[in-house]
Amino acid sequence: MKKYILLLAAAGLMTSCYDLDQYPHDKMSSGTFWQTEEHAHQGMVAMYADLRNENAFGAYYNHDALSEIAMDYNNWQYPSVIKGTYTERSGGIINSKWQTCYDGIFRANLMLQNVDNVEMSDDLKAVYKGEAHFIRALFYFHLLDFYGGVPLYDETTIVGNEFMNMKKSRSTAEETRQFILNDLDAAVDVLPVKWEGSEYGRATRGAAVALRGKVKLFAKDYEGAKNDFEEIVNDPQGRGYGYKLNDSYPDLFTLTADQCAEIIFSIQAINGTGQEFGMPYALRLGTRASFAGGWNNCMPTDILADMYENKDGSKFNWNDYFPGFNESAEIQKNTFWATLTDDNTAVATYPADKDKIRQIYEDRDPRMEQTLITPYSTYYGCNGRDPRMIEYVVATGVNEANGFIRDNLGHYNYYWRKFVPEGDMDGTLVSRENSPVDFPLIRYADVLLMLAECYNELDRQDDAVALINQVRQRPSTHMPALNSGPAWLEARSKEEVFQRIVQERAVELACEGHRFSDLRRWGLAMEKLNFPYTDIIGEQRYTRVFKERDYLFPVPAVEFERNANLGEQNPGW
């Protein structure tokens, strides 16, 4: 699909079809548009466009920053949610996520409303409809996850005619979920198993089946979810899915493994002069030492870093290496702190245990250093746009101009290596907002872990462990298998296996936006998301607050003012 993404600009199809502030003027809804197969194709591309939006699934505001494994404290939209001070009138994330999802829904509805008018075969029309059902389901599932039941507008709603009268009441969560499942059933029936060449990135049968399984899993329909995930993993009908784990974990988040067999559905990206439809990894996830200077909108926490096991599979604990470390901010700072020369151009003194620190990190689950930039490691970054090797030194006065990662407003944290571009990507990167690396929404490792969860809930612990071990033992990870000998690898009971799933999903899927939803659906958010957060030198930076009400976002207050039929606000708001 990448070469067709440019048609968005040429056809003027980026205009929102759902604007809360003014009557929409959507160019795709005119009587002159929906006539040819090329029109249908352009409409299809526009339908996928909102997936990249910062308030939906794009990486601008990674949802992991709402969990314990990442943070967004000083920047942008999430601080009020993290600190528990947001309300139904908080603009940003609360209003914009709602609006963005409905933008995507109405783009899908436009396809369903108009594709039958296009001159092409019925088989092709069916495929376009299937894609629209998939996209609509994806956006409604996102709304369900964050807001609960919502008003359901299908293709019978013509936005251009009914904009001022779109005043449906909220459907229940169960009704919303069934609507989503019906959409996915329709998509599964008609979508192809694969798209080739320039069409890669469009929704497939596998993507629809996997998403349907996820919807069922979130509803605790473990048997139904199992059946869907088993179709992906076992392919009992011989459909030729061909999904498998990529041998290299870090390659998944670069161009090296683009379109590999592990990716089931991803947001497509492209960059280059006149082709700025990429993902803002350098800007939002990167440091000031990333291409053109990143803003650290989302940073990994030391909570995530400490989750990565030792290479032998035992649990990591700083106290095993530096007694009293966990209890003493002074010990933490002294362990990591360096000093620079007076002109800040070189390291005057490294910490006394620098070599020990590096060994501690290198003796961990390989995914740690493939995911995070850790203290006293190097990163191929940039000074502005000029590629150079950068060292992460924990000290005052560090700056990318002198070859160091600049601290984030005096905070000393871990930084993302995963997704963040190296250098200027050999000259292919032209803006920090537009990396050409796709963003995975569903990948095979995620499906394996969700199927493991189903097996565990259905008292098939051995089968669950076998799937977890597949993920742990991909060639580039090669962590010891569970139940392979040492006591610390034992996982036999349902609770033991569940805790392994909680752990494995955190470290395998870090920076992919799953954690906040996982904690809420497991009922663990109250336990995991109330804590004072300190950075790696022991300085307290904020207090994370999560209340019972926070299991769902509030429906934006402005929506109740526009629609008296909307019904009740979410509990606690």
Decide if 337 contacts 329 (C-beta within 8 A). Answer: no
DSSP reduced 3-state for 20: coil
Q: Give residue 412's pLDDT.
A: 92
Residues in the chain: 573
Triad 186, 192, 193: Cα angle to 5°: 115
Tell me how far apart the alpha carbons of residues 139 and 108 are, in angstroms, rounded to a whole number: 10
- Strand 540-544 relative to strand 531-534: parallel, antiparallel, unpaired? antiparallel
pLDDT tens per residue across span 479-490: 999 999 999 999
Q: Name the one residue in this structure whose structure tokens are 């005619």.
A: 161
Instruction: Please state, rounded to an integer, the average pLDDT across all residues of the chain.
Output: 92
pLDDT tens per residue across span 75-124: 555 788 999 999 998 877 889 899 999 999 999 999 999 999 999 999 99
pLDDT tens per residue across span 338-365: 999 999 999 999 999 999 999 999 999 9
pLDDT tens per residue across span 433-458: 999 999 999 999 999 999 999 999 99
Closest CA to 409 of 318, 492, 252, 296: 296
- Which percentage of the chain shows pLDDT scores above 90? 83
Tell me how far apart the alpha carbons of residues 347 and 395 are, in angstroms, rounded to a whole number: 9
Q: Is residue 23's pLDDT more than 60?
A: no
Burial 312-334 (b: 16+ CB within 10 A, else e): ebeebebeeebeebeeeeebbbb
CATH number of 2-60+75-191+556-562: 1.25.40.890
Q: Any idea what DSSP says for residue 411?
A: B
Q: Is residue 550's pLDDT more than 60?
A: yes
This prediction has a pTM of 0.94
Closest CA to 420 of 306, 515, 310, 300: 300
Closest CA to 280 of 512, 509, 52, 508: 52
Tell me how far apart the alpha carbons of residues 369 and 413 are, in angstroms, rounded to a whole number: 14
CA 143 distance to own-chain centroid: 15
pLDDT tens per residue across span 494-533: 999 999 999 999 999 999 999 999 999 999 999 999 999 9
Q: Give residue 5's pLDDT.
A: 46
Residues 309-317: what's their mean pLDDT? Answer: 98
Residue 212, CA distances (Å) to 103, 292, 498 in order: 22, 40, 22
Decide if 427 contacts 412 (C-beta within 8 A). Answer: no
Decide if 264 contacts 206 (C-beta within 8 A). Answer: yes
Q: Which residues contact 504 (CB under 8 A, 6 or more apart)?
A: 449, 468, 471, 472
Q: Is residue 22's pLDDT more than 90?
A: no
Ordered DSSP codes for 182-239? HHHHHHHHH--S---GGGTTS--HHHHHHHHHHHHHHTT-HHHHHHHHHHHHH-TT--
Decide if 565 contacts 23 (C-beta within 8 A). Answer: no
pLDDT tens per residue across span 378-392: 999 999 999 999 999
Q: Is residue 49's pLDDT more than 70?
A: yes
Decide if 115 contacts 40 (C-beta within 8 A). Answer: yes
pLDDT tens per residue across span 81-90: 999 999 998 8
Residues 547-558: what's their mean pLDDT? Answer: 97
The domain locations on the chain are 2-60+75-191+556-562, 281-421
Q: Is residue 270's pLDDT more than 90?
A: no
Ordered DSSP codes for 349-372? E--TTHHHHHHHHHTB-THHHHHE
